[in-house]
Structure 1
Amino acid sequence: MAKGAILAGLSLRFRILLFFVLLALGGLAVMLGALWVGYRSALSDGIANGFLLAGIIGGFGFLGLAVGIWLLFDENVAKPIQALSTTLRARAHSGVNATVDTHSARYLGDLAPAVEAVSTRLSNATIDIAQTVAQETETLSSDRDQLTALLTEIPVAILLVGPDHRIVLYDGQAAGTLAQIAPPRLNASIFDYLCKERVLDAHERLMQEGAEVAFEAACPDGRVSFDARLKPLRGTHSYMILIDDAHAEIAPDAERPLTFDFELLGDQPISDLAARRLDQIPFVVFDCETTGLLPHKDELVQLGAVRVLRGEIVHGESMDRFIHPGRPIPPASTKVHHITDAMVASAPPPKSIVAEFHHFARDAVIVAHNAPFDMAFMHRHGNEMEIDWPQPILDTVLLSAVLFGTTEKHTLDALCERLDVVIPEHLRHTGLGDAQATAEVLCRMLPMLAARGHTTLGDVLEQTRKHGRLLDDMN
């Protein structure tokens, strides 16, 4: 106990000095030992053999001493400092209430308590700011509820489209209408849902007349059509698409949830996705459950996906689909993801869901945990349907290596624990549950990446390429 108290009282500078003292004393001991053995050998085998033996013993002795000192320094200084810096970054940039591991940093003198003090002060400041934000958010939420109640009385479905023809806002009824064509999503081109020629023709008349224009809208393949109206948004180049209740199937007094991001109106389009800032990039995070671990022969049984925009999960924009694998699900796989043959008996085949996901992920960066495994299924079915996946792929395993180093654990559970993300037990190993958890992990890592100077997608991709070996080993 007294020894521990004495060690705890040593300063960090004195501890580092001890490493060099140990190196010096160890080197002196190795040199004297080598000379003594060499001297004994010289007496019996000659001077040359004595010098040679002394050199060999001295060389290996110094090498072993250097390795031993390095291991001590790495375990007691380098690793704890790296862990402290990771904790600080997580608290500072992601709002994670990470605990400072003072035990592993016990040989760093006053550094760990100082970090704990700064972290506590930062957490308290964050709590104060969060309370202020919560009050303002409550006011905005009340305003939003009033707007939702007002929209309930209007018998039309509403879409707000920006000047670049990308969706900025849609209500629940518009989402239901779009869902007949493909999963709705913010920042998507309206031409992904409606025939481009018809929309552009109506838009041209809208610009010429400056008044509401009626037109017949239809999806690109013509299987869904309905009457709609284009209405100009005063003072902007944006416009609204209105669909009356006869086509939107609006239930009376139904809730009208809104999905929107008005900042999209001010975004300047950037053709080079790699040059975009991380907070300007739409991400689609997905996860698959399968019949086994061999992508070339096993099959999909579930796919879950969510969208992330401006570092936040877009609520309401998700996929959660069971898939009929065309074969029995092995009991060992069911034990992991709890999906049975009965649950997928009436589900669509893999190609149908892969095609739907392909549309859902259009114009977005695809993200997954251990992405090569999940993307192998997408590529296999995509090749059969002659669809490709041109967008960049981000892997949260590699992002973890960039932020926390290759020596840390990079499983999804480890990341969630490190970044204070909770996965409900009943959602673990489900497509949507794991996709949601991976998305929350991504949202916490994006500001940490930006704080390290990796502010664009190109920067991040360049960093992840340095750790590609991790995925090779994992798979």
Structure 2
Amino acid sequence: MLSKLSLRFRIFLFFCLLGLGGLAAVGVALWFGYGRALETTVENGFTFATILAAFLILGLTVGIWLLFDENVAKPIERLASEMRTRAHAGVDGDLDMQAARYLGDLAPAASAVTRQLNETALSTAQAVAAETARLNAEKARLTALLTEIPVATILVNPTGQIVLYDGQAAEVLAQLGVARLNAAITEYFDPKSLDAAVGKLRKTGLDVSFTAQSHDGAQSFETKLKPMEGGGYLMIIDSQTLDISPDAARPLVYDFDLLERPAGAAEADILDRPLRSLCFSVFDTETTGLLPHKDDIVQLGAVRVLNGRIIEGEVINQLVDPGRPIPPASTKVHKVSDAMVRGQPDIRVVARRFHDFSRDAVIVAHNAPFDMAFLHRQAKETGVTWDHPILDTVLLSAVLFGASETHTLDALCDRLNVTIPTELRHTALGDAKATAEVLVKMLPMLEARGLTTFGQVIEETRRHGRLLEDLN
């Protein structure tokens, strides 16, 4: 019956209820006050009537507010968040009309706009998918070609950051550190010899051959630098003398947007940097239990997000020997057993690797305080300091969808059409990938709300810090 009334008339009824209820409350209070005045004094009767009227009006106000909040305010907030997910996160499907049933024509109108947007987006997505398939085929052919050439190839932008590396280069970089895009090339190679070769390259504009020394001076590589248009260069390392399996996979990892990154962008205050310019290290852990002060990590998974997309090929999926038996109740959840972690590296090795993997990145996790507590507890033993900026997808969910919504990882994935394969749920890498996909869909939604810099997002998430306290 009420669902057929217009939104304006329904709000009018709220005010009518408030006005009539207030009059009724005053009338009831005066009635009882009159009775009290007859039994005692007039002053006592008026005092009693005033107190009773105040409590009745207060109770009426709270009751009407609860009705308004449940039937108007919350549905509008939910409808707005659902529209944003469809407009900016690529989520399709109909809006929840049942939740907005008391909003008059607002919900059907929003649904019609959303449906039209989805149809337009679908036709665009089909064209993009066809072009993407063609580009993937070309990438596969290029990767296969590079596999047959006995050189390791690294593309470096004008500011000295890695833009592309092939599989052979990945193995070279892995001998010197953790291979990753956006990293400074001088993290792997000695700056002195490299800078001299780059200086000569820029002065002459011709290829430069030299012997590149590893950053620690323990290894050397016969290397050629080739100038690229725009000021960057291609670093080609003769890999014939390297111990690289001919059957190993040769993924090509790249992000050509890094070629356009202006000089000094990475040095700007992180609070002022645009979200799109940041690198994110998204991780998750599986543990022996739920108490960070006494339990230990048994698995760590991580992926990297750069320029708003997940970087395929830059992944950590590592079992960790906790040095103690894993409780059967924990194994039942994450499927990691004592036999699986036997012979695996301990947290000191894995934490240092993850620390390098996350260098110059914002660390992201779902309920980050829980996972970070395990790493902080082991910080002294591992010899690394976790001073990275942190972003929590629980708090981002509260910013985008409202604090009253459910903010579990499953709820977020369902809301944003992210699928976690059943066999990967409650595995460190599976949950890390799901969190990364959620983050990628949230970034344009945050920007659409005017939260374009990291500082603005952090300031907004601080309003919802209580959620994490309740979770932990």
Q: TM-score band, normalised by the shorter chain?
A: over 0.9
1:452 aligns with 2:446: no
3-state SS in 2 of match to 1:294: coil
3-state SS in 2 of match to 1:215: strand
Partner of 2:257: 263
Partner of 2:357: 360
Deviation string 1:422-456 (CA, Å, 9 cap, x unpaired) is 11111111110010010011011111111110001
> Alignment identity in percent?
57
- 1:203/1:230 contact within 8 Å kept: no
Deviation string 1:352-391 (CA, Å, 9 cap, x unpaired) is 0000000000011110111111112222222334321232
- 1:98/1:418 contact within 8 Å kept: no
Partner of 1:243: 237
Partner of 1:164: 159
- 2:207/2:227 contact within 8 Å kept: no
- 2:224/2:237 contact within 8 Å kept: no
Superposed, which structure 2 residues align to 1:57-96 within 5 Å? 57-96=52-91
Q: What CA distance in whole angstroms lies between the structure 1 residues aligned with 2:360 and 2:228?
A: 29
What's the offset of the Cα at 1:13? 0.5
1:395 aligns with 2:392: yes
Superposed, which structure 2 residues align to 1:54-133 within 5 Å? 54-133=49-128
Residue identity in the other structure for 1:90: T
Residue identity in the other structure for 1:349: D
Deviation string 1:193-244 (CA, Å, 9 cap, x unpaired) is 2222232233233334443333333432345x24231322243321122122
What's the offset of the Cα at 1:254? 6.7
What's the offset of the Cα at 1:350? 0.5
Q: Measured at CA, do residues 275 and 247 of structure 1 come closer, stay the same or move farther in structure 2, by a change above 3 Å?
A: farther
Partner of 2:433: 436
Deviation string 1:28-65 (CA, Å, 9 cap, x unpaired) is 11111111111111111121111011111100000000
For structure 1, which segment, 130-139 or 19-28, has the greater mean C-alpha deviation from structure 2 after superposition?
130-139
Q: What CA distance in whole angstroms lies between the structure 2 residues aligned with 1:53 and 1:428?
A: 61
1:52 aligns with 2:47: yes
- 1:304/1:319 contact within 8 Å kept: yes
- 2:150/2:239 contact within 8 Å kept: yes
Partner of 2:323: 326
- 2:287/2:295 contact within 8 Å kept: yes
Q: What CA distance in whole angstroms lies between the structure 1 residues aligned with 2:57 and 2:188?
A: 71
Q: Measured at CA, do residues 391 and 254 of structure 1 come closer, stay the same or move farther in structure 2, by a change above 3 Å?
A: closer
Q: What CA distance in whole angstroms lies between the structure 1 residues aligned with 2:333 and 2:70?
A: 36
What's the offset of the Cα at 1:140? 2.2
Partner of 1:214: 209
1:20 aligns with 2:12: no
The root-mean-square deviation of aligned C-alpha atoms, in Å, is 1.7
Partner of 1:346: 343
Q: Measured at CA, do residues 346 and 250 of structure 1 come closer, stay the same or move farther in structure 2, by a change above 3 Å?
A: closer
What's the offset of the Cα at 1:155? 2.0
3-state SS in 1 of match to 2:12: helix
Q: What CA distance in whole angstroms lies between the structure 1 residues aligned with 2:286 and 2:276?
A: 29
What's the offset of the Cα at 1:250? 5.3
For structure 1, which segment, 376-385 or 413-422, has the greater mean C-alpha deviation from structure 2 after superposition?
376-385
- 1:152/1:254 contact within 8 Å kept: no
What's the offset of the Cα at 1:137? 1.7
What's the offset of the Cα at 1:253? 8.1
What's the offset of the Cα at 1:460? 0.7
For structure 1, which segment, 78-87 or 110-119, has the greater mean C-alpha deviation from structure 2 after superposition?
110-119
Q: Which runs of 5+ in 1 are unaligned?
A: none
Q: What CA distance in whole angstroms lies between the structure 1 residues aligned with 2:249 and 2:56?
A: 77
What's the offset of the Cα at 1:282? 0.6
Q: What CA distance in whole angstroms lies between the structure 1 residues aligned with 2:41 and 2:27?
A: 19
Partner of 2:195: 200
For structure 1, which segment, 100-109 or 194-203, has the greater mean C-alpha deviation from structure 2 after superposition?
194-203
Q: What CA distance in whole angstroms lies between the structure 1 residues aligned with 2:68 and 2:434?
A: 36
- 1:173/1:248 contact within 8 Å kept: no
Superposed, which structure 2 residues align to 1:254-293 within 5 Å? 256-268=250-262, 269-270=264-265, 271=267, 272-293=269-290
Residue identity in the other structure for 2:426: H
Q: What CA distance in whole angstroms lies between the structure 1 residues aligned with 2:138 and 2:40?
A: 96
What's the offset of the Cα at 1:252? 5.3
For structure 1, which segment, 138-147 or 463-472, has the greater mean C-alpha deviation from structure 2 after superposition?
138-147
What's the offset of the Cα at 1:181? 2.6
**In structure 2, which of residues 225, 228, 234 is the aligned counterpart of residue 231 of structure 1?**
225
What's the offset of the Cα at 1:147? 2.5
- 1:173/1:249 contact within 8 Å kept: no
Q: Normalization by structure 2: what TM-score?
A: 0.95
Q: Measured at CA, do residues 326 and 222 of structure 1 come closer, stay the same or move farther in structure 2, by a change above 3 Å?
A: farther
Q: What CA distance in whole angstroms lies between the structure 2 residues aligned with 1:298 and 1:259?
A: 36
- 1:156/1:248 contact within 8 Å kept: no
1:152 aligns with 2:152: no
Residue identity in the other structure for 2:43: A
What's the offset of the Cα at 1:166? 0.6
Residue identity in the other structure for 2:91: V
**In structure 2, which of residues 181, 185, 189 is the aligned counterpart of residue 190 of structure 1?**
185
For structure 1, which segment, 246-255 or 425-434, has the greater mean C-alpha deviation from structure 2 after superposition?
246-255
What's the offset of the Cα at 1:248? 4.3
Q: Which runs of 5+ in 2 are unaligned?
A: none
Structure 1 moving runs of 4+ over 6 Å: none
